[in-house]
Structure 1
Amino acid sequence: MSTSTSTVSATSAAPKKGGGRRTLSLPVILLIVAGALALVSLVRLISGADDITSVGQVAGALELAIPIGLAGLGGLWAERAGVVNIGLEGMMILGTWFGAWAGFQWGPWAGVLFGILGGCLGGLLHAVVTVTFGVNHIVSGVAINILAVGATRYLSNFAFDGVDGGSSKQSPRIDSITEITIPGLSDWMQDLQARHWFLVSDIAGVVGGLVTNLSLLTVVALLLIPGTWWVLWRTAFGLRLRSCGENPVAAESLGVNVYKYKYIAVTVSGGLAGLAGAFLAIVATGIYQEGQTGGRGYIGLAAMIFGNWMPGGMALGAGLFGFTDSLKLRGGAENVHAMLLLLAILLVLVVAWQLYKKKYVSAVISAAVSALLFAWYGLTDQVPSQFVDAAPYVTTLLVLALSAQRLRMPKADGMPYRKGQGK
C-alpha cells in the first residue's frame, strides 16, 4: 500500500499539484497568441510601426526563436528527469562547431547530424559527472560551458585556419539547406499584410512568415515541440522519465532504472542543444563564428522556466524573445519605441488582474511603471540605441518576473540521487 502511495506521489499527483491554472494547454496557448496578436495589431495602428508584424519580421523572429526553443527543449528533457543543465550553452557551442566542420566537409545535413552528436557528447559528459559521480549540477554545467569554448577554439586552429574562407575564429561558408515557399499562399499573404488592416493584416503577416523561405530544418525543429510533449506526457517511457524528476526513490521502488533514464534524458538534452547550435551555424548564418551562440543556451533555460517546464509554454517564451530580438535587428529604435506602448498597455492589464486578486501594493507599483512608460512613449519619438540592444533581455526579465507566481519545477530537480538511498 505504501508503494502505491509513493507511485501516485511520483507520477499522477505531482503534475496535478500545480493545478490546471498553472498548465498551459493548447487552447490556452492559442487564446494567449490570439490576444497578443490583437494587442500588437492595436499598437501597430496607433504607433504606425507597420513592420512589427510584417512577413519579414515574422520570418526573422522564427529564425531567431528556433535555437532558443531547441535549447529550451533540451533543458526541459534534462530537468524533467531531475538534472539541471546549465551546460546548454556549451553544448550549443559544440553543436555549432561540429555542425560547421561536418557541413563544410560533407554537406549541411551531415553538419546537422554531427552537430547533434557534438551536443550529445557534452550531454553525456554532464550525465557522467552529475549522475554517476554526484557532482553539483551547476558546477558541472559551468565547467562544460568553459570547456566547450576552449575546445572549439583549439580545434578551429587545425580545422579552419588556413582553409580558403576560414580562420582560427570562423569556418568557410556552408551550403544552405533547402527552403520551401508556397507560392500562391505566400504572395497572397504578403499582399494582405501590405494593406495594414487591423488584425487581418497581422494574421496574414504571421501566416506569410510561416510559408515563405522556410528551411526544412525549421520544420523539423517545430515538429520537435509536439513530439517532445507526446513522448514525455503520452508514453510509458515519458512517465518513467518524469517520475525520476519528481520522486526517484519511489520510481526505483517500482523497478525503474533511474540512472538509465537520467542518462537518456541528459544525452537527449545535449543533442537538442547541439541541434540548436547546428541551426545557428548552418541555417541562421551559414558559417561558424566564435562566440555566435551569444548566451542563447541561458535564454533557452529562461524560456523553459517561463513555460513552467512544459513544451507549449517554452515555445511561447522562445517566440517572445525571438520576436523582440527581430524587432531590434529589423526596425531598431522605431519598432522598440512602439513596444514601449505595448508594454504600458500590458501593465494596465496586469494592474486590473492584481486588483481583482486584491494585491494592492503590486497593483500600485505596476500602475506607476505603466504611467512612466506611457509618458516615455508620448514624450519621445525613439529610444536610445543602448535600450534597443537591451530590449530582448529586458523583456525576458520582465516576463520571468511576472510569471514567477505560477511556476512549479519538478520536485527532485537538481537533487542528488543514489541507488538504494530510500532503503
Structure 2
Amino acid sequence: MTALDMNPDMNPAAAPMTEPVPPRRRRIPGWAVGMLWVAVAVVVLSTTSYLTGLPQLTSSGTAQSALRLALPIMLAGLGGLWAERAGVVNIGLEGMMILGTWGAAWAGYQWGPWAAVVAAVAFGALGGLVHAVATVTFGVNHIVSGVAINLLGAGLTKYLSTLLFEPISRNPRESPIVPKFDTYSAQPLGDWLGELEDMQRVGLSDVAGILRGLVTGVSPLTMIALLLVPVSFLVLWRTPFGLRLRSCGENPVAAESLGVNVYRYKYLAVIASGALAGLGGAALVLQPGQPGYLEGQTGNRGYIGLAAMIFGNWRPGGLLGGSALFGFADALQLRSGGATVHALLYGASLVVAALVVVQLFRRNWIAVVVGALSASVLYAIYWYTDELPEQLTTYAPQFVTLIVLAVSAQRLRPPAANGVIYRRGEGD
C-alpha cells in the first residue's frame, strides 16, 4: 500500500468526484429595478405622446395632478401594508379613510391644516383600534370586520355631518371651507424645466414636464406622505421592532415561542394602519381645489390602495409604483377626459407588443399568442375609435386596478399567516 492509497486527499483517482458549485448570480437591487421600470414608463409615455400628438400625457399639470391623486391611494396602501405584514387583513381601509376625511374637515375648519392632519390621524387610528379589538381580541373574521368598519365609517360621518356641518354649510353632505397648506416650488429649477417643456422636444420635454410637475406646488403633507414610504421600509425591514411585527404575519406561533407579544404587535400594526388611512383622508380634504369634506369623496380609494399594496407584493417600493400608476390614470381622466385615456390604449398596445417579443425569445408560445391577441385588440380599439365614452373614462382607475391585479397575480407572495385568526397557546 502506497502513501497515496493511505491518504486519498493526495490521490486524485481515489478522491470522491464533486461537481463544481456554480457561481452565485448577483441579485439586482430593488431600487435599481424600480428605476428601470420608471425609465420604461417614461419612454412609453414619451413615445405615445409623440405618435398621438397629445403632450398632455407628460405635461407638468398632469404630473402634478397625478402626484396629488396618488397620495391618498399610497397612504391607504401603506396602511394595508402595516396591518397585513402583522397578519391582519384590513378591508376596512375605506371606512378609516372616510373617518379621516371627516376628522380633517372638522378640525381643519376650526384650527387650520395642521390640526386637520392630527385629527385625521386620530380618527383613522380609532377605526383601526375598533378593527383590532374585533379581529385580534375577539377573533372576528377579518373580512367581516373590515366591511363593518366601512359601513360604520360611512354611517357615522353622515350622522356627524348632519349634526355639526349642516348648521354652518347648510348642506349635510359637505363641510365648510377648510384652510389649505401653502405650497412650495423648487426654484429656479421649476422655471428651467418649464422652458425645456415648452420647447416640445421629444423625450427631453417629456422628462422635463414630469419633473416640473413633481417639484412645483408641493405641500408639507405631500413631503410627509412621500417620506413615510422609506420610513416604513426602514422600520419594518431594518429594525428589531419590524422583524417582530413581520414575524407575527409569517408565523405567530413561532414568534410567541421566542417571546414576542403577538397581540401587542398586531394591535400596534392595525392602529398604525388606520392612522395612515386617516392621513390619506386628510390628503383628500386638503387638496387644492377641494372645499373640504364631501360625502363620498374617497371614491373607493381605500380599495384601490389595497390593490396597490397587492400589486407591490406587500413591499413599500412596489406599492409606491402601483399608487403612481393609479394616480396617473385618475389624473388623465380628470384633466383631459377621454382623448388622453384613449391614447393610453396605443401605449398599452406597444407595451404588450414588447412583452410578446420577450416571450418569443423565451419560447413561451401560449404567452405569445395571448399577448399578440391582446395587443391587436387594444390597437384595433384605438384605431377605430376617436375617443372613449365618458362613462368608461370615469372608471379608468378601477379598470387599471383590475388589469394590474390580473397581470401580477402569478408573482404575489403574501405573508404566510395573513388573515389567520390567532389564539395564544394554540400551537402548544
2:34 aligned partner:
29
Q: Which residue number corresponds to residue 263 of structure 2?
A: 259
Q: Counterpart of 1:250?
A: 254
CA distance in 2, matches of 1:64, 1:24: 28
In the other structure, the counterpart of 1:68 is 73
Of 23-32 and 286-295, deviating more is 23-32
**Which one of 309, 320, 338 corresponds to residue 333 of structure 1?**
338
C-alpha distance in structure 2 between counterparts of 1:305 and 1:270, whole Å = 18
Give the TM-score, by structure 1 length: 0.93
Letter of the 1:308 counterpart: N
- CA deviations 1:354-385 (Å, max 9, x no partner) are 33444322321221121121122223322222
User: What residue in structure 2 maps to residue 119 of structure 1?
Assistant: 124
What do the CA deviations read for 1:82-138 (whole angstroms, capped 9, x no partner)? 000000000000000011000011111101100000000000000000000000000
Aligned to 2:311: 306
Structure-1 separation of matches of 2:372 and 2:162: 55
The verdict on how the C-alpha distance between 1:357 and 1:123 changes in structure 2, with shifts beyond 3 A counting, is: farther
Q: Do 1:86 and 1:142's aligned partners in 2 also have CA atoms closer than 8 Å?
A: yes
Report what 1:276 is aligned to: 280
**Offset, 1:394:** 1.4
Matched to 1:237, the amino acid is F
Instruction: Work out the CA distance in 2 between the residues paired with 1:73 and 1:166.
Output: 35
Structure 1 stretch displaced more, 375-384 or 248-257: 375-384
Task: Give how far 1:387 is off.
Answer: 2.3
Counterpart selection for 1:106 from 86, 111, 115? 111
- Superposition CA RMSD, Å: 1.5
The number of equivalent residue pairs is 403
- State the shift of 1:205 in Å: 1.2
Q: Measure the CA separation in 2 of the matches of 1:20 and 1:385.
A: 48
1:198 counterpart letter in structure 2: V
Deviation track 1:316-351 (CA, whole Å, cap 9, x = no partner) reads: 000000001111111112101210101101111222
Q: How do 1:79-98 and structure 2 match up within 5 A?
A: 79-98=84-103
Who is 1:237 aligned against?
Answer: 241
Shift of 1:306: 0.2
Measure the CA separation in 2 of the matches of 1:87 and 1:273: 9
Query: Corresponding residue for 1:56?
Result: 61
Q: Secondary structure at the match of 2:395?
A: helix
245-254 or 188-197, larger mean C-alpha shift: 188-197
**For 2:410 and 2:368, how far apart are their aligned partners in 1?**
15
2:218 paired with 1:223: no
Letter in 2 for 1:186: G
| Alignment correspondent of 2:351 | 346
Aligned pairs for 1:385-396 (under 5 A) are 385-396=390-401
3-state SS in 2 of match to 1:162:
helix
Kindly provide the amino acid, as one letter, of the partner of residue 242 in structure 2. G
- Equivalent residue, structure 2, for 1:195: 199
How far residue 166 of structure 1 moved from its aligned partner, in angstroms, is 4.8
**Greater CA deviation, 171-180 or 197-206?**
197-206
Distance 2:186 2:152 in 1: 43
Correspondences of 1:115-194 after superposition (within 5 Å): 115-163=120-168, 165-194=169-198
Match of 2:383 among 378, 381, 384: 378
**AA matched with 2:376:** A
Equivalent position SS for 1:161: helix
Distance 2:419 2:96 in 1: 19
Amino acid at match of 2:405: L
Bigger shift: residues 296-305 or 368-377:
368-377
Q: Is the 8 A contact 1:347 1:367 kept in 2?
A: yes
Cα shift at 1:25: 1.0
Secondary structure of the 1:180 match is coil
Alignment of 1:207 onto 2:211: yes
**% identical equivalent positions:** 55
Letter in 2 for 1:222: L
C-alpha distance in 2 between matches for 1:418 and 1:84: 16
Whichever residue aligns with residue 236 of structure 2, its letter is L
Question: Gaps (5+ residues) in structure 2?
Answer: 1-24
Correspondence for 1:363 among 348, 363, 368? 368
User: Does the CA contact (< 8 Å) of 1:215 and 1:283 recur in 2?
Assistant: no
SS of the residue 2:287 aligns to: helix
What is aligned with 1:12? Answer: none
Q: Distance in 2 between matches of 1:177 and 1:20?
A: 45
User: Per-residue deviation at 1:260?
Assistant: 0.4
In structure 2, C-alpha distance between the alignment counterparts of 1:80 and 1:24, rounded to whole Å: 21
For residue 208 of structure 2, what is the amino acid of its counterpart? A
Alpha-carbon displacement from aligned partner over 1:12-40 (angstroms, at most 9, x marks no partner):
xxxxxxx998x981110011001110111
Give the letter for the 2:399 counterpart. V
